[in-house]
């Protein structure tokens, strides 16, 4: 990877994916790696600027690397995910998902709630869940190994705050995470 020019991290429900991009500015070579696996390779391209589009993760989320000439032989690289800049995509994901990071049975766990579908993912696996209405909202239960887990959904009672989500593992509340 001697022509490595950019590295990005994209957090999806099935995990955080590392995208690496090689660009040969003399040969036009373009190579895209996702989680250290080569997914795109184009050798000897005459056009040094342009785009490379590929799929990321189990959901095959569309991603595009844009290559633009800045001046002379200097290039700028940007990543779009689902047609949005990476920053805009991350901002949007924070509104549509809720993520918790925890350490359980000597394993780091990443639990993601897709707010629009109420799907729950744990370390890249979509969990089998059961949802039910409770006095103050809903409770979606699932198991991780021998552990009983649930996501509680309740109204904050305030319009600006909206709905609150909390993860309980064996009855203990898990703090929120940023990713």
Those residues with Cβ within 8 angstroms of residue 161's Cβ, 6 or more apart along the chain or in another chain: none
Domain ranges of the chain: 4-82, 96-174
Q: Which CATH number fits domain 96-174: 2.40.30.170, 2.40.128.180, 2.40.37.10, 3.40.50.800?
A: 2.40.128.180
Residue 91: φ, ψ to 5°: -60, -45
The 8 Å CB, 24+ separation contacts for 77-81 are 77/5, 77/6, 77/21, 77/23, 79/6, 79/8, 79/10, 79/19, 81/10, 81/56
pLDDT more than 70, % of the chain: 98
In this prediction, residue 1 carries a pLDDT of 60
Query: What pLDDT, in 10s, does the model give residues 142-154?
Result: 999 899 999 999 9
pTM over 0.85: no
Q: Are 35 and 17 in contact (CB under 8 A)?
A: yes
> What is the pLDDT at residue 179?
55
Same fold for the domain at 4-82 and the one at 96-174? yes
**Cα within 13 Å of Cα(19), Cβ side:** 27
Query: For domain 4-82, which architecture applies?
Result: Beta Barrel (2.40)
Phi, psi of 160 (to 5 degrees): -70, -30
pLDDT in tens, 128-143: 999 999 988 899 999 9
């Amino acid at each position: 990877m001697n022509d490595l020019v950019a590295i990005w991290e994209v957090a999806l429900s099935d995990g955080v994916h590392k995208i690496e991009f090689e660009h040969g500015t003399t040969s036009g070579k373009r190579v895209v790696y996702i989680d250290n696996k080569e997914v795109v390779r184009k050798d000897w391209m005459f056009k040094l600027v342009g785009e490379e589009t590929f799929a990321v993760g189990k959901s095959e989320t569309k991603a595009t690397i844009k290559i633009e000439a800045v001046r002379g032989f200097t290039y700028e690289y940007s990543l779009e995910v689902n047609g949005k800049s990476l920053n805009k995509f991350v901002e949007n994901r924070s509104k549509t998902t809720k993520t918790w990071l925890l350490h359980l049975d000597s394993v780091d766990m990443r639990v993601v709630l897709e707010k629009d579908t109420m799907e729950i993912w744990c370390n890249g696996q979509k969990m089998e869940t059961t949802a039910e209405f409770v006095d103050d909202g809903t409770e979606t239960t699932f198991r991780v190994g021998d552990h009983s887990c649930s996501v509680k959904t309740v109204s904050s009672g305030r319009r600006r705050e909206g709905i609150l989500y909390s993860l309980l593992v064996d009855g203990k509340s898990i703090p929120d995470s940023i990713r």
